[in-house]
Structure 1
Amino acid sequence: MLDTPAAQVPTLSLAMQDSDPDGFAAAFGGSFERYGFAVIADHGIPQDLIDRAWAETKLLFDLPEDEKRQYHVPGGGGARGYTPFKTEIAKDAKVVDLKEFWHVGRELAAGHRYADQMAPNIWPDRPEGFKSVFVELFAAFDAAGDRLLSAIARHLGLAPDWFDPAVKDGNSVLRLLHYPPIPADAEGVRAGAHEDINLITLLLGAEEAGLELLGSDGEWLAIKPPEGAMVVNVGDMLQRLTNHVLPSTTHRVVNPPPERRGHSRYSMPFFLHPAPDFLIETLPGTVSAERPNRYPTPITAHDYLHERLVEIGLVKA
């Protein structure tokens, strides 16, 4: 694992979008086309907010197991609240992932039209500052994601605001991840090889070693972003929408070397989803004689999400 070569994913500054939106879109889209991943600095999420979020995350996972399990919803697909250790399994994997996590979703007004498809948030009694911090962080991720989707739209030859109606009140999820210390002979890995379901994923916490992507030649490559930078990757919904012009790259989180296995690893991915009724229909500009439409039958984001949650064991068919 220590010998895993590093992926040569360039680090891009989101601040460049203000002065040169077309240049940023070309660089960002180019990184997505080549790797399915990009590294984004100057993403606009305040470091103070991130620091508070890490502190609240550690306090949450330090709670007693029986207290955390009070916030687990059996049969809820892990949509909100707590999902215990060794619950999720990567598609086609033989062993479960070595992780526990907590999901925060969008706060919807009473009577919202998506209320039946987007579960209400579950807020723990402890730590006390949890709700206020993560409502604020969710909004900050949302804003950064909107800016990145605008660049993707430009790269694809669409209007810069093309994704705005698609993601307004979207079913995005902020996942707080804890990979506990593991024994040297642990079966499985912290997160098995998988692709994400959503449009794009924005990830904080990848500075801690372990995240790897599968290169086009079949070789695993380590992702090592600069401190404070965000790793962003294509999800399967965007891959489907773009007819694989933007690939959803397989990735995993490997176990650390023996001397680090007594340490926890934390990360915070924000899975940016469209609204449940958004129709994932192949963009005409991505279809050609050389690249025929792989997905002639459209599907709603809600139905697609359900199919995938069944595959990874979070929802029963």
Structure 2
Amino acid sequence: MPTNVSNLPPVRRWVPAPVTKEDIDWADLTFVDLAKAKTPEGRAEQVRLARDATHRQGFFYVINHGLDKAIVDRMIDIAALAFDDVSEEEKIRYRARIKETGEYLGYKLPQYWHIANGVKDRIEHYNFPRDVSRREHPNVLRPFLPEVQRIVEFTHRGVLNEVQKLLSLGLELPENTLPDLHPFDETNHSFWRFMLYNPRSQEEEDKTDNVWMKGHADHTSFTAIWSQPVTALQIKDWDGQWRYVRHVENALVVNCGDTTEYLSGGYYKSAVHRVIKPPSDQDGYRRLGLYYFHYMADDVRIAPLLDSPVVQREGVNKFIVGVPPVQETWRKNRASTYGVTQLERAEDGTEYEVVNGVRVTHYN
């Protein structure tokens, strides 16, 4: 991707929140360095780091990926336009038909997901298809679509496919095993998201114990999150404790999703995470971020990679009762039901629903 942003359409600057100075219980996450992975010795080290991090926590940072910070900062500026410079009428026009289609494309408006005790979310997002030309977009975003398309492709191919090569080798399979299941072509329905968390009233904070989004695991193969400074993301760590994810300038936070856990027979762990109210010195700031949700090709079945010696040694947990669904069925059913169905309560206090024969747990 080009690093010169001076010849691009002008955009108003987003002023980020200051980094918190509070004493925080940070998660100890691994750094996967894509620059070091370019030499044989460094590649062997990064395979081990990516494998162990995904097996233990399902979360890790990716650094030295090759994208200039100025481009990421500019994309945040563009993201703000989607929420601050689009009228409510136009947002409704481009509203995603999530329950009807099983896809998030377009706006998810606030007050859609139930959080707790009658309180619904204060989260907005605008979602682009992997190929941004597949649909029409709000007027204010149209001059920036070529830039969005470039960062989508970079995140898919330049980051996640490269990480998947390391994780394929971690399963003792050919390095292109996982990337080949996640092509950047018309069979793939990965999507890009601008997401904005708006502050809430104290009454809503009290009713939800400060939880902005319930603990959950993503139904994707992976999610890539461009790090931003508002401290609110927590992971359910390897020891069962909730810990915060620290902001690292120009890094990506990559989390393993359910699909990769199923492909690896449970060896790679789907990362449970949630979003809660930020610390007091960031109170009142809006949390704006860039996300990429990574799927396999639509016709691939979500079944364990039984050729992997690691999967064979570690035992296979098939997770899914009956015939595994193909990616298209899985992604649409999970998207259409999340946050809007009646959940059952388990003995341990968690809530759950059954989708495609899989028990999907929600942590409140």
Task: Give me the TM-score of the superposition, normalised by structure 2.
Answer: 0.77
What is the CA–CA distance in structure 1 between the aligned matches of 2:242 and 2:339, rounded to whole Å? 25
- In structure 2, give the amino acid aligned to 1:184: Q
- Unaligned 5+ runs, structure 1: 110-119
- In structure 2, give the amino acid aligned to 1:181: P
What is the CA–CA distance in structure 2 between the aligned matches of 1:89 and 1:304, rounded to whole Å? 22
Q: Is 1:137 the counterpart of 2:151 in the alignment?
A: yes
Structure 1 match to 2:251:
229
What is the CA–CA distance in structure 2 between the aligned matches of 1:310 and 1:208, rounded to whole Å? 28
Structure 2 match to 1:87:
112
Report the CA distance shift for 1:293/1:172 in structure 2 as closer, same or farther (over 3 A).
same
> Pairwise mapping of residues 44-55 of structure 1 onto structure 2 (< 5 A)?
44-55=66-77
Structure 1 match to 2:268:
246
Structure 2 match to 1:198:
220
Report the CA distance shift for 1:124/1:22 in structure 2 as closer, same or farther (over 3 A).
same
Structure 1 match to 2:171:
156
Structure 2 match to 1:96:
120
Contact 1:38 1:232 in 2 (8 A): yes
Contact 2:102 2:331 in 1 (8 A): no
Q: Is 1:293 the counterpart of 2:322 in the alignment?
A: no
Task: Please point out which of 163, 172, 181 is paired with 1:166.
Answer: 181
- Unaligned 5+ runs, structure 2: 1-19, 343-354, 356-364
The SS at the match of 2:261 is helix
Shift of 1:258: 4.6
Runs of 4+ in 1 over 6 A off after TM superposition: 314-317
- In structure 2, give the amino acid aligned to 1:195: A
Contact 1:78 1:314 in 2 (8 A): no
Q: Is 1:8 the counterpart of 2:28 in the alignment?
A: yes
Task: Please point out which of 136, 146, 149 is paired with 1:122.
Answer: 136
Task: Give me the TM-score of the superposition, normalised by structure 1.
Answer: 0.87
What is the CA–CA distance in structure 1 between the aligned matches of 2:55 and 2:193, rounded to whole Å? 25
What is the CA–CA distance in structure 2 between the aligned matches of 1:265 and 1:108, rounded to whole Å? 24
The number of residues matched between the two structures is: 306
What is the CA–CA distance in structure 1 between the aligned matches of 2:221 and 2:291, rounded to whole Å? 13
Shift of 1:23: 1.6
Q: Is 1:305 the counterpart of 2:319 in the alignment?
A: no
Contact 1:57 1:176 in 2 (8 A): yes
The SS at the match of 1:153 is helix
Shift of 1:73: 3.5
The SS at the match of 2:104 is coil
The SS at the match of 2:32 is strand
Q: Is 1:268 the counterpart of 2:294 in the alignment?
A: no
Shift of 1:261: 3.2
Structure 2 match to 1:42:
64
1:84-142 deviation digits (Å, cap 9, x = unpaired): 0122357x997533211011112288xxxxxxxxxx33311114433122111111111
Structure 2 match to 1:67:
90
What is the CA–CA distance in structure 2 between the aligned matches of 1:245 and 1:253, rounded to whole Å? 25
